[in-house]
Amino acid sequence: MSAQNSVSDIKAESFPEYSGGRLHDSYIDGYDPVSLVAPHSSLIRTSTWLGAGLLMAGIAATGILIYGVATSIWGVGSADDYSQPLIIIGAIVAAVFYIGGFGLIWYGRRYYRQYREETGRKN
């Protein structure tokens, strides 16, 4: 490549700095940013991932609840009956994990909701 055809400031061309205003003000019309590194991305927020983890942990708590209900219906044979405490513990833990998980995911998506309100775009 000759010097006449090369970019004079490769750093500014490759990694532009957006000063003044918002990043999405400089988007080309029709551009739909769905990149992981977009400033409004929910996937780069810790709270989104913690919320997803709590939802998955809530599935385990739901399993405890189901096991408690099943042992209360069909019995446990000659073993001690712990179905009532299992139902209570499973229900409480599942409720806490599900509410916390959905709350954290909602909180982690706050910048995306703000972006949608400002631009009217929906991915």
- How many domains is the chain partitioned into structurally? 1
Whether 35 is in a domain gets the answer no
What are the pLDDT digits (tens) for 38-49? Answer: 777 888 899 999
Q: How far apart are the first and last CA of the chain?
A: 39
Alpha-carbon distance of 7 to 27, in angstroms, equals 22
Whether 5 is in a domain gets the answer no
Alpha-carbon distance of 118 to 40, in angstroms, equals 11
Whether 57 is in a domain gets the answer yes
Q: 69 or 19: which carries more pLDDT confidence?
A: 69
pLDDT at 38: 75
Contacts of 18 (CB under 8 A, 6+ apart): 26
Alpha-carbon distance of 60 to 63, in angstroms, equals 5
Q: What pTM was estimated for this model as a whole?
A: 0.72
Whether 4 is in a domain gets the answer no
Whether 108 is in a domain gets the answer yes
What are the pLDDT digits (tens) for 59-89? Answer: 999 999 999 999 999 988 877 889 999 999 9
Q: Where are the beta strands (DSSP E) in 19-79?
A: none
Q: Which residue has the tokens 């977009």?
A: 38
pLDDT at 114: 87
